[in-house]
Amino acid sequence: MKQGLSLRVSQHLALTPQLQQSIRLLQLSTLELAQEVEQMLDENPFLEVNQDEAPREEFGIAQADAPVPEEDRETEFAEFTPPRDDSRVVATEPEAAGAVEAEVPGWEGDGSTEVVPDDNEWGGDATPRKNNLAADDQMEPSDLARGQESLQSHLHRQALSLRLSEEDCHVLRFLIESLNDDGYLEDSFESLAAGLAPDDLEQQEELVHRFTVALRLLQHLEPVGVGARNLGECLRLQLQAMHREGQPHPACATALRICEQPMELLARRDVKRLAQLCGDPDAQVRAAMGLITRLEPKPGRRFVDVERNIVVPDVLVTKAGRGAQSRFRVQLNPDVMPRLRVHDIYAGALKAHRGEGHQALQQRLQEARWFIKNIQQRFDTILRVSNAIVERQKSFFVHGELAMRPLVLREIADELGLHESTISRVTTAKYMATPFGTFELKYFFGSALGTETGGNASSTAVRALIKQFVASENLKKPLSDSQISEMLKEQGIECARRTVAKYRDALRIAPANLRKSL
């Protein structure tokens, strides 16, 4: 074989570090982006938070969106300050002449239909309005989420009022700390005693005795049912407390006997089997089961200090105009947009002095500039995608989820000239505040179901119809999946029974036999 040299021209795609960072920032959620910004501020001395509106070092900006008026797009990459009004106005379809103007829930303070609202304007996921408290007394939502008393603290505070010896006090405190988040004592007395005195059998027996006495005291504390070893005991404690109050329910005795039976029978609502085991008539058993359903199966539920996911929307959609002239304004949420800039003093010093380590510092400066540029590009892409979604789902913003249209990622990708994977990254963990609540951007995408007229219906709208059918059903004769499927066919939507069951499970709606009222 003869060796030789040849010249060849070829093209290939290379993922540069800047492009990799851009892709990674695009798929981050708001919380993850804030953490990324904090980390970059700690690592890069050329990056700082822009505390004022004064312009700093400037360099070019590549517009990632359609042309926008100059007054709305003054942001530069070297100084990324959230625009005051970076928004678009999307017009709704003209309504027929003489049509009655529909009132949109949630706009005039009547609450949100998707999230139980604490603030009547946006719903429970939005930042609440300022009240008449002073500025120093305002509490952040995260502070409210964390400022909750734990179950253990609540029980310890009650235990202070009991006159106990020092040893009994320690034993009661140990049992309280051994409770799980639901208020149950999962470990047996023997295992707890063996963990405290692994080699002393006599001490273990004494500890078991003290645990038995302390558990009786614990089970008389609030909330009722705390300290139970299983669900049946938890329900019995609550029923016995009702009996001690002097106003027992007529079916309380039957309910106590039901709680002594296997819980599987109660879960299946096997009235006949429970009536045989308890020796009571069916009507009495049904009344007792109705009483049990009003009890709390998890006494520690309201004390669990769960880190609540406070959703801060990335995009805000507001309404302008009324009737046929109504418009929807799409804008980025300025509260989630970091204000970053290049430190001008350090950048100027680097230009003036070229000494040892200049190349490394120059690279850090370039990293700061690329980071600001990629963040700007991230929000530009989110805004473009949000505008396209609002444009295609106009009916949803007027009439709600029943008017949702089928939409797939490829449609938005083709319209904006982006890749489908980019749209997927943009719509993941990004939220939009709408008149009907705060939703993830992926919520507006749904598959299509065929209709009798040859058109398509969105799966989101079908779920809304199923939820509406179940909400208006007769509780004594709940609708089965087959009946719901037939009702959808009457609406012109072809939906099989298995598809109805899948959508019902996704909506967390119980089957018909469990929805039946007693």
Does 99 map to a domain? no
Q: Is there a single domain that holds both residue 321 and residue 386?
A: yes
Does 138 map to a domain? no
Q: Is there a single domain that holds both residue 403 and residue 332?
A: yes
Phi-psi region of 111 (alpha: psi -120 to 50; beta: other; left: phi over 0): left
Does 119 map to a domain? no
Q: Give the span between the Cα atoms of 369 and 376, in whole angstroms.
A: 11
Does 297 map to a domain? yes
Q: Is there a single domain that holds both residue 324 and residue 422?
A: yes
Give pLDDT, residue 389.
93
Grade residue 119 by pLDDT with cuts at 50, 70 and 90.
Answer: very low
Q: Report the mean per-residue pLDDT for the chain.
A: 78
Domain count across the chain = 4
- Long-range pairs for 27-33: beta carbons < 8 A, 24 or more residues apart: 27/425, 27/428, 27/429, 28/429, 29/428, 29/429, 29/430, 30/312, 30/314, 30/336, 30/429, 30/430, 30/431, 32/429, 33/336, 33/338, 33/375, 33/378
Does 146 map to a domain? no
Q: Give the span between the Cα atoms of 402 and 464, in whole angstroms.
A: 6
Which of 288, 296, 293, 291 has its CA nearest to residue 257?
Answer: 288
Give pLDDT, residue 305.
56
Of the residues 303, 322, 348, which one is the last residue of a structural domain? 303
Does 109 map to a domain? no
DSSP H helical ranges for 147-268: 151-159, 166-177, 189-196, 201-218, 231-244, 252-259, 263-268
Q: Is there a single domain that holds both residue 294 and residue 329?
A: no
Q: Is there a single domain that holds both residue 428 and residue 361?
A: yes
Among 69-83, 159-173, 408-422, 473-487, name the one with the lowest average pLDDT: 69-83
Token readout for 268 is 């299946």
Which of 340, 240, 394 has its CA nearest to residue 38?
Answer: 340
pLDDT at position 393 over 60: yes
Does 118 map to a domain? no
Q: Is there a single domain that holds both residue 320 and residue 437?
A: yes
Please state the φ and ψ torsions of residue 331, each to the nearest 5 degrees.
-145, 155
Q: Give the span between the Cα atoms of 376 and 76, in whole angstroms.
A: 8
Query: How far is C-alpha 365 from the geometric centre of its chain's CA atoms?
Result: 38
Q: Give the span between the Cα atoms of 280 and 286, in whole angstroms.
A: 10
Asked whether the beta carbons of 18 and 370 are under 8 A apart, the reply is yes
Q: Is there a single domain that holds both residue 203 and residue 238?
A: no
pLDDT at position 113 over 70: no
Q: Is there a single domain that holds both residue 177 and residue 295?
A: no
Give pLDDT, residue 130.
37
Q: Where are the beta strands (DSSP E) in 33-157?
A: 47-49, 79-80, 87-91
Give pLDDT, residue 324.
60
Q: Which CATH number do you get for residue 490?
A: 1.10.10.60
Q: Is there a single domain that holds both residue 316 and residue 428?
A: yes
Q: What is the pLDDT of residues 250-288, one digit of tens each?
A: 888 888 888 888 888 888 888 888 888 888 888 888 888
The whole domain housing 197 covers: 151-218
Please state the φ and ψ torsions of residue 486, each to the nearest 5 degrees.
-65, -35
Of the residues 185, 218, 251, which one is the last residue of a structural domain? 218
Q: Is there a single domain that holds both residue 272 and residue 188?
A: no
Sign of the CA dihedral with 268 first, then 270, 274, and 276 last: negative
Give pLDDT, residue 325.
67
User: Residues with Cβ < 8 Å from 312, sequence gap 6 or more?
Assistant: 30, 125, 127, 333, 335, 336, 431
pLDDT at position 1 over 80: no
Does 105 map to a domain? no
Q: Is there a single domain that holds both residue 322 and residue 253?
A: no
Of the residues 382, 416, 441, which one is the last residue of a structural domain? 441
Average pLDDT over residues 367-372: 90
Which of 382, 391, 377 has its CA nearest to residue 333?
Answer: 382
Q: What is the pLDDT of residues 298-315, one digit of tens each?
A: 988 888 755 455 788 999
> For the chain, what percent of residues have pLDDT higher than 90?
14
Give pLDDT, residue 382.
95
Higher pLDDT, 76 or 492: 492
Give pLDDT, residue 315.
93
pTM above 0.75, yes or no: no
Q: Is there a single domain that holds both residue 337 and residue 319?
A: yes
pLDDT at position 144 over 70: no
